[in-house]
Amino acid sequence: MAISDAVLRYLASWKNLAGCAGGLLGLALHFAGLAGSYWVLVVAGLYGVGALAAPPEEVVLVTAPEEEAGQLRSELDALVARVHGFGGRVPAEVAPKLAEVADVLRGMLDRPRELRGDPDALHSVTRLIGTDLPLSVQTYLNLPWWYAAARGSGAELLRQLDLLRADAVRVAERFHAADEQRQADHGRYLEDRDRL
């Protein structure tokens, strides 16, 4: 008869270990003559107290790399579509600049497993898509059109998009550096093979 995974997880949990420690304390009280004729209840009760006092097991939800990249891509596509939907409300240069940033980010999102394997790149891509780009765009869109036009806020949005594009390019260059090295190594291998 196979033991289920849930039972095995519980046996290895902090709750079971704390309960066992409580149960051992109950046995020690019995052998010391302090538990009386109800020693079985004392042992079981101390096991229960120990199990309840132990911290709960931390549940870690892990999404598949493809699902994570898909969620990020959806957020990015929604932001790009939102800017296109505002048409004349944003300066004409905003949509192309945002599209450039999105293209750089999509190049990394197209390789979800490699992106998951590079925590720095994943953090940067997540920050750019989830915080930096939406904050820049939404802050501009929160301004009344006449106020943004009078204050030149469109130029500030364009400057921020340039900074975010430079950040995305730096992350992408680091991310793709291994591929570039593999390509160079393969070229040297092919040259060396032809010499033999």
In contact, 175 and 115? CB cutoff 8 Å: yes
* Cα separation, 88 vs 79, whole angstroms: 16
Q: Report, as an integer, the average pLDDT of 53-82.
A: 85
* pLDDT classification of 80: cutoffs 50, 70, 90: very high
* Cα separation, 23 vs 29, whole angstroms: 10
Q: Report, as an integer, the average pLDDT of 36-54.
A: 88
The whole-number pLDDT of residue 126 equals 95
Residue 59, pLDDT > 70, answer no
* 126 CB neighbour count, 10 Å cutoff: 15
Residue 1, pLDDT > 60, answer no
* Cα separation, 101 vs 107, whole angstroms: 10
Which has the higher per-residue pLDDT, 196 or 65?
Answer: 65
Could you say which DSSP state residue 122 is in?
Answer: H
Sequence letter at residue 114: E
The whole-number pLDDT of residue 179 equals 81
State percent of the chain over pLDDT 90: 39
Residue 141, pLDDT > 80, answer yes
The alpha helices in the chain, defined as continuous H runs, are 5-11, 14-31, 39-53, 65-85, 94-109, 112-116, 119-127, 133-142, 145-151, 153-195
The whole-number pLDDT of residue 106 equals 96
Q: Report, as an integer, the average pLDDT of 116-145.
A: 92
In terms of average pLDDT, the best of 49-53, 57-61, 126-130 is: 126-130
In Å, how far are 29, 113, 169, 178 from 135, measured between CA atoms?
63, 27, 19, 31
The whole-number pLDDT of residue 143 equals 86
The whole-number pLDDT of residue 178 equals 79
Q: Report, as an integer, the average pLDDT of 66-80.
A: 93
What is the reported pTM?
0.63
In contact, 43 and 23? CB cutoff 8 Å: yes
Residue 60, pLDDT > 70, answer no
